[in-house]
Amino acid sequence: MTTEFNSEVSSLSIVIPCLNEAETLATVIKKCFLSTSKMDMPSEIIVADNGSSDGSKPIALALGCKVIDVSQKGYGAALIGGISAASGKYVVMGDADDSYSMDELEGFIKKLEEGFDLVIGNRFVGGIEQDAMPWLHKWIGNPILSYLGRKFFKIKIGDFHCGLRAFNRTSILSLGLNSQGMEFASEMVVKAALNNLKITEIPTRLSKDGRSGKPHLRTWRDGWRHLIFLLAASPRWLFLYPGLFLMLTGIIGALITTRGEVIFLGLGFSQNTFLISLALLMAGAQTLLLSILARIFSSHHGFLPRSRNIALVERLFTLERGIALGLLFVGISFFCLFYLIHDWTGDNFESLSTGLSLRIAGLIILSLTLGIQIVYASFFASLIQV
């Protein structure tokens, strides 16, 4: 069955990032031309060269491609350069190592013409040829990172890191993508979802690449960068939920032991538990403040879109209110200190009850620390919003 495309309003740019891919580049380009001939759509092939020294550029030029020199090193940098130079309404990006079926792009474009903004290939559904993907990537790295992406951002995508994808150029350019490395793949999906772009995926096959040398992907370094991006793009999972857990644990521990030792399941929880609980509470409060600051920073600098929740936080978490709340905690700490001193002088400076004095001293430290943290966090939040 022939797929029909609206070539009168649509044009296509195929962007291929390239760094020393002379062994396979010609094969990939010819496959791209085969796809464009099937679709009968105005098209161009752009090779975003990232500093090749093996003759890749002359190969691309000889085959009629548009070659863009990208001096900034990195997979993401090359793609950003190629996408910026593209003129098509639609863009397909695919690797130059001949691991993807670049001669079968019709399904991607069909989905774009149905109204989707981003179409991602799913290699786990389409099939992975033997030895085409390292065991660690196939069974651990990709599944875990894709699961975290779905969990953090509620994106129904099974393969976050497939390098073959198509998108509406205007929609993707509006996201302001700026990751220079391999984490560019995650950034595109995450920001597209956060900005409510329509995303879908289709099966695609992964073949063993045609390189004789080592792949550009570095397992641990690039996997770590993907993970860091996912966490940084989700202040809730990086700061908010851990902060709430620490605070809740600290509050429960402090309340249980505030009157003295408690025996539970044969274990004794006394003043040491009380002090540890206060430490957890302080750590949790600091983490919650970081969550607020990270979200404000991300929204004001375009890393994450603004939301009603963050707008509400900004209205409530003003400099003046933050200072007032912080000074209130500082005041509580001084009140506890005066109470401790008064109790001491009332006993003619005799030795205080070790348990009571220790708990009051802990409350003084907790209130003073929280007060100072809130005051300075309020100032920092106001600086971000200026």
In the chain, where are the structural domains located? Answer: 12-232, 235-385
CA distance 62 to 146: 39
Q: Which residue stretches of the chain have pLDDT < 50?
A: 1-9, 349
Using DSSP bridges, classify how beta strands 262-264 and 267-269 pair: parallel, antiparallel or unpaired: antiparallel
Helix (H) or strand (E) holding 275: helix 271-300
Q: pLDDT value at position 5?
A: 47
Q: pLDDT value at position 343?
A: 67
Q: pLDDT value at position 302?
A: 64
Q: pLDDT value at position 344?
A: 66
Q: Mind listing the pLDDT tens digit for each residue in 233-251? A: 788 888 899 999 999 999 9
Backbone angles phi, psi at 8, to 5 degrees: -70, -30
CA distance 126 to 202: 8
Q: Which CATH architecture best describes the domain 12-232?
A: Alpha-Beta Complex (3.90)
pTM above 0.85, yes or no: no
Backbone angles phi, psi at 66, to 5 degrees: -90, 125
Q: pLDDT value at position 18?
A: 94
Q: pLDDT value at position 255?
A: 85
Q: What is the DSSP letter of 55?
A: S
Q: pLDDT value at position 7?
A: 43
Q: pLDDT value at position 308?
A: 76
